Amino acid sequence: MSNKVLRIAGGQGFYGDTPSSIAGLLEDGIDYLCLEALAELTLAILQKDRARDESRGYTRDLPVYLKTAMPAVAAGRVKVITNAGGMNPAAAARVAAETARDLGITGLRIATVLGDDLFGRLDELHAATASKLKHLDTGAEFHSAQGDPRFFAAYLGARPIVEALDAGADIVITGRVADAALFLAPLIHEFGWAWDDWDRLAAGALVGHLLECSGQTAGGNFSGDWSSIPEPWSLPYPIAEVDADGTAIITKPVKSGGRVDFDTVRHQLLYEVADPSSYMNPDVVADFTTAQFEDLSEDRVRITGVRGKPATPTYKAVLAHHSGWSGEARAGFAWPYALEKAEATAAIFARRVSDAGYEVAEWRFEYWGVDALGGAVPMPESAGAAEPREVGLRVAWRCDDEKTAASISREMVPLMLSAPPAGHTTMGRAASGSTELLEIWPTLVEKSFVDPGVTVTIQEV
């Protein structure tokens, strides 16, 4: 097993993230740059892109990231792994090849991982799987005709990425894989970890979890003493220095703002984790509660002692189906009685919509400045009971009919002059039209049904 210390960086946390961090990571010196671009919402966005244009379905900012990274890739200093392929990895690979040609770069090996897209097999898998595609949270059974399905993707693991790296890939583009798999794969490839070496695999999954959310490990989105984070305008993205035994040091580029310490790292540790003792990944079930953190100061935290358990025989999969159409309208109100004015306007608007004969399947009323972020819960006594100086009203609705959803906002317009005083109505993002809604349906699919369809192809540019 190699004695090399591998430096892996997380250069992206979501579709639309800033690529400005890439230059600092490359300057600091890394072996692998992992770009994590997907979420369930992102898949829905990309599915709509692909429905409009079959050549789309990948994250459109991928070329921006690659233009910065490709010179270093061509020089042999770094390799790139990304799930920016989204709903169309093959199209993303073509764009990557075009980007290389535009830069005058040749000799790159670009790998494409396919097989996460299960949409064409929905009826087959519904009939064959033991789970019957039951909803992970509610246990409800999915019916293949339910809500007009739009996409169905499995969260693949690190295996096909390792296969691509073993074949000499410089850039690996996948569709939906588990976030941590992007970071675990190079560790398996470089160190030769066995697929049943559960503790090392768990250590790699933990590293991936800490790096996958761009700046959060380095002080971004920090719930502690957030005001003390140095130079937040120059917040860096994190780097992991990993040994062959799975020991990792989390750090950041030297020439950057932000901070890496015990608190920022443990903050990210529990982000989006349901059960830290059984964090399920396709390749391993990691026990984060066994991890030991040692703050070495100077933006370096060592992690040891991670334990793992055997992987499950299933992949998590996300299925999405049509769930109607939405529209939105907004209005703002000033003191005095700002909340009362907003509530009265909401009632007037809803009555106008009803009187106009529109059928609304679901309403959503939010009062920004009162309950939009915190929900309808009592404020702490320390916050005081002062009347808000202003309140923003956001009204959203869901309809079964696209035209109806698009038309309802028109009933807000007259309230510019006919609602309670000191108010101003504005059009929301969907006021001039409607937005299709997709309902996410998380489920499980046996790996034995998915793995035979997973392929890795490599093209040389």
Which of residues 246, 278, 312 is at a domain's end? 312
Per-residue pLDDT at 428: 43
Amino acid (one-letter) located at 393: L
Name, in order, each residue with C-beta under 8 angstroms of 420's C-beta and a sequence gap of 6 or more: 333, 337, 340, 341, 344, 345
Question: Is there a single domain that holds both residue 20 and residue 123?
Answer: no
Domain that holds residue 442: 118-154+315-452
The string of DSSP letters for 191-260 reads HT--TT-HHHHHHHHHHHHHHTTGGGGGTTT-SSSGGG-S-GGG----EEEE-TTS-EEEE--SSS-S--
Nearest to 206 by CA among 176, 180, 241, 244: 180
CA Rg, the chain, in Å? Answer: 24
Give residue for tokens 């210390």: 5
Per-residue pLDDT at 18: 94
Tell me the pairing of strands 6-12 and 32-35.
Answer: parallel
Which of residues 268, 286, 312 is at a domain's end? 312
Could you tell me the strand order of the sheet in which 307-309 lies? 279-280, 285-287, 307-309
Per-residue pLDDT at 388: 85
What are the C-alpha distances in Å from 94 to residues 55, 117, 454, 459?
Answer: 10, 18, 19, 10
Strand partners, 293: 303
Tell me the pairing of strands 314-334 and 307-309.
Answer: unpaired
Say if 461 falls within a structural domain.
no
Question: Is there a single domain that holds both residue 62 and residue 193?
Answer: yes
Per-residue pLDDT at 429: 43
What are the C-alpha distances in Å from 379 to residues 342, 368, 373, 388?
Answer: 19, 14, 12, 12
Helix, strand, coil shares, percent, the chain, to 5: 35, 25, 40
Which of residues 312, 343, 378 is at a domain's end? 312
pLDDT band per the 50, 70, 90 thresholds, residue 147: confident
Query: Does the pLDDT at position 345 exceed 70?
Result: yes
268 Rama class: left (phi>0) / alpha (psi -120 to 50) / beta: alpha
Give residue for tokens 């799975």: 246
Strands of 230-389, DSSP E: 239-242, 248-251, 279-280, 285-287, 292-295, 301-304, 307-309, 314-334, 362-368
Dihedral sign (CA 151, 154, 160, 164):
positive
Per-residue pLDDT at 167: 98
Per-residue pLDDT at 423: 76
Q: Token digits for 429?
A: 């993002």
Domain count, the chain: 2
Question: Is there a single domain that holds both residue 97 and residue 222?
Answer: yes
The CB density around residue 115, as the number of other CB atoms within 10 Å, is: 20
106-144 tens-digit pLDDT: 999 999 999 999 999 999 999 998 888 999 999 998 876
Question: Is there a single domain that holds both residue 304 and residue 210?
Answer: yes
62-72 tens-digit pLDDT: 999 999 999 99
Query: Does the pLDDT at position 386 exceed 90?
Result: no
Per-residue pLDDT at 433: 79
Question: Is there a single domain that holds both residue 341 and residue 431?
Answer: yes
Question: Is there a single domain that holds both residue 41 and residue 166?
Answer: yes
- Cα separation, 161 vs 115, in Å, equals 12
Question: Is there a single domain that holds both residue 123 and residue 81?
Answer: no
